[in-house]
Amino acid sequence: MDASYPYNHVSDMNIRAWMPIIIQMILEEFGSVMWIDPSASINNVQELNQFKYRAERSFFLYEYPIFTAINAYTNPKMFKHLNEKRCTFVDLGMMDTRVMVLYRTKQTWYGIMKPWLKCALTKDCIAPDGARRTECFHYKRPKSTGCHWYEQSIFSIIINRVFQFTYNSDKFKAPHAVHFDDTELVYYFPEQPWTYTQIFLIFTLPPMVLVTLWYLKKRRDARKRNKFYNR
């Protein structure tokens, strides 16, 4: 790839900057788009009409099934690039980009697609230096987990900034008309970093074992000498 080309990051499947581009292309050609992630399955055929009627004005979106703070999975540099304060989004949650219905309207273009595309085509916005999708410290939620959800992070910021769509409260949430494949996550070393305690044990345990063996050997030799002189 040409290093001088400003959009090389779009080809990175992990960043998923291509997602809003594909959605906008479909909107321009057909006037509407129903985006369903491969991991999602429609509960029944009637639910397709539900999507259509709910989104017939501009769009239909879901918030994340379990409240997940935007701050927890968004690189701080993205907020800085957007001239936004992280504390503003502390009680706002991630949007679920696995299922969406969008219509080609002014509200959809100016409120969602235009800022989403603008960030997606700017590497420093959608994929700032140091951003990663894996090796998350999930136990730090709702504080930063060290992970960044790229296209989902910017999408959630945009939706909450314009429409205040999600909020950490006990408000009514529309039931999902789809279900997702439950995948068992097995974290191997490259995806799940070791804790400081584990690293400490790795470096200290071998010397401790060697010292213990040396001490036991010294005691055994001392006993042998004592038995020899006590004869």
Q: What is the dihedral of CA 17, 18, 20, 26, to 10 degrees?
A: 180
The tens digit of pLDDT for each residue in 8-61 reads: 899 889 999 999 999 999 999 999 998 988 887 777 777 777 776 666 677 888
Inform me whether the pLDDT recorded for 177 exceeds 80. Answer: no
In this prediction the pTM is: 0.67
Most confident of 4-18, 30-44, 145-159, 216-230: 145-159
SS (H, E, C) the chain: CCCCCCCHHHHCCCCCCHHHHHHHHHHHHHCEEEEECCCEEECCCHHHHHHHHHHCCCEEEEECCCCCEHHHHCCHHHHHHCCCCHHHHCCCECEEEEEEEEECCHHHHHHHHHHHHHHHCCHHHHCCCCCCCCCCCHHHCCCCCCCCCHHHHHHHHHHHHHHCCCCCCCCCCCCCCEEECCCCCCCCCCCCCCCHHHHHHHHHHHHHHHHHHHHHHHHHHHHHHHHHHCC
What pLDDT score was predicted for residue 20? 96
Q: What is the mean pLDDT of residues 168-186?
A: 44
pLDDT at 2: 54
Query: What is the structure's pLDDT at 104?
Result: 92
**178 pLDDT exceeds 80?**
no
- Residue 38's pLDDT is what? 85
